[in-house]
Amino acid sequence: MTDKPSSRTRAQKHCDGVRLFGEVWKAGEMEDGESLVRRWEDLDTDILVKIFQSFDIYQLTSGIAHVCSAWRLACCDPLLWKTLDLSMMKSNYIKIPLEPYVYVDGRSDKKLTHVLKTSLNLSRGNLMTLIFHFNLYVSDDLLTYTAERCPRLKRLVMPAWNRIKKTGICKAIRCWKDLESLTMPSIANPPYLMEEIAKNCKNFNELKIMGPCDIFFASTLVAYLPKLKVLSLRCSMLLKDALIIILDGLQHLEVLNISHCLVIDTAPPRAPRRLLKELDPVILKKASRLRMFLTCMQDSCIMCQRTKNDEGLMRWYKYEKGLWLEDEVRSLAY
């Protein structure tokens, strides 16, 4: 696996692996046509790693590391474990009226635990990027187990919050001293999380929020992450006053993405909220100091239409697979 997903199909990658196997065995043929007997464990490690790079996470954790010591060595190569992408894994769950408001099927939990623990064992602490699906309900214990085994993590896409307690995420953040970038669902009580990041992650500079940004959230960012450089709030509900707080308070901010947001003008008490059709000159002037200020508020834009239909809280499950991972900010797109 690599830092950025390849545009080549999985079938094409497997074909490359098959060709490599073929070339290896052809190289073992003698000039008179007789085959030289070679053992699987004698296959060059670099070639094995190249082949394993065409495998998905399910194949890598299916037991190939147990074939022989040479294959296990190849399976643990750091080239395979720069990124652990679990964005294709979703929990099988039902909603319930009491906390944590979801019940996850035991088989679903067991599958996640197997894939995650096997991956962490093979990665040997080399993971730099970890991507969870937004509908993956990870338990507190499993999150802590993960954090302790990938201390070099720099980029994280968080799973759903429902089963993660305050103690669990704080303990995890303390393990991730090198964390630089976080994509996360919106959270009702953000101060404790932002404070933990501020105290432990000295190189933290990128944040993407998948959910509404109100005045409380914006004020929290300014209070605890004043040196934030990149912020994406795309496809969400954003109060105009919250946007002003961000522009005024985050003096080190270089890139702000509010593409496809529902920007709401704060109304007087009892008055209906007003959806802005365009940004006013005051906001544009404040944003002019940024290196990049990304906006899109066009009625003809499909993503703007979807955000409006979903009332600023995107129901990503309705749309194209992997769409939720996209971002106009290249460093935040997966």
User: What are the tens digits of pLDDT across the range 210-238?
Assistant: 999 999 999 999 999 999 999 999 999 99
Task: Tell me the C-alpha distance between 203 and 153, whole Å.
Answer: 12
Name the average pLDDT for the chain.
89
CA-nearest of 161, 154, 157, 258 to 204 is 154
Tens digits of residue pLDDT in 104-163: 999 999 999 999 999 999 999 999 999 999 999 999 999 999 999 999 999 999 999 999
Q: How confident is the model at residue 27 (pLDDT cuts 50, 70, 90)?
A: very low
Q: DSSP code of 88?
A: T
Residue 215, pLDDT score: 95
Dihedral sign from CA coordinates of 87, 92, 97, 100: negative
Who has greater pLDDT, 164 or 28?
164
CA-nearest of 259, 254, 328 to 288 is 254
Q: How confident is the model at residue 320 (pLDDT cuts 50, 70, 90)?
A: very high
Tokens 């979801």 sit on residue: 102
Task: Tell me the C-alpha distance between 20 and 23, whole Å.
Answer: 5
Residue 35, pLDDT score: 55
Helix (H) or strand (E) holding 183: strand 181-185
Q: How confident is the model at residue 261 (pLDDT cuts 50, 70, 90)?
A: very high
Residue 24, pLDDT score: 45
Q: DSSP code of 28?
A: T
SS3 286: helix
Residue 12, pLDDT score: 54
Is the separation of the CB atoms in 246 and 231 below 8 Å?
yes
Tens digits of residue pLDDT in 30-87: 444 555 566 666 778 899 999 999 999 999 999 889 888 889 999 999 999 999 999 9
Cis amide prior to 100 (ω within 30 degrees): yes
Residue 5 scores a pLDDT above 70: no
Q: How confident is the model at residue 88 (pLDDT cuts 50, 70, 90)?
A: very high
The rounded radius of gyration (Å) of the Cα atoms in the chain is 23
Helix (H) or strand (E) holding 202: none
What's the average model confidence in pLDDT over 190-205? Answer: 97
- What is the per-residue burial (b if ≥16 Cβ within 10 Å, else e) of 201-217? beebbbbbbbbbbbeeb
- 3-state per-residue secondary structure call for 94-116: EECCCCCCEEECHHHHHHHHHHH
Count Cβ atoms below 10 Å from residue 278 Cβ, excluding itself: 11
Helix (H) or strand (E) holding 131: strand 129-132
Residue 25, pLDDT score: 42
List, in sequence order, every residue forming a beta bridge with 103; answer none if it has no partner.
94
Count Cβ atoms below 10 Å from residue 113 Cβ, excluding itself: 15
Residue 7 scores a pLDDT above 80: no
Residue 172 scores a pLDDT above 70: yes
Percent of the chain with pLDDT over 70: 87
What value, to the nearest 5°, has the Cα angle with vertex 187 and ends 186 and 192? Answer: 135
Residue 1 scores a pLDDT above 70: no
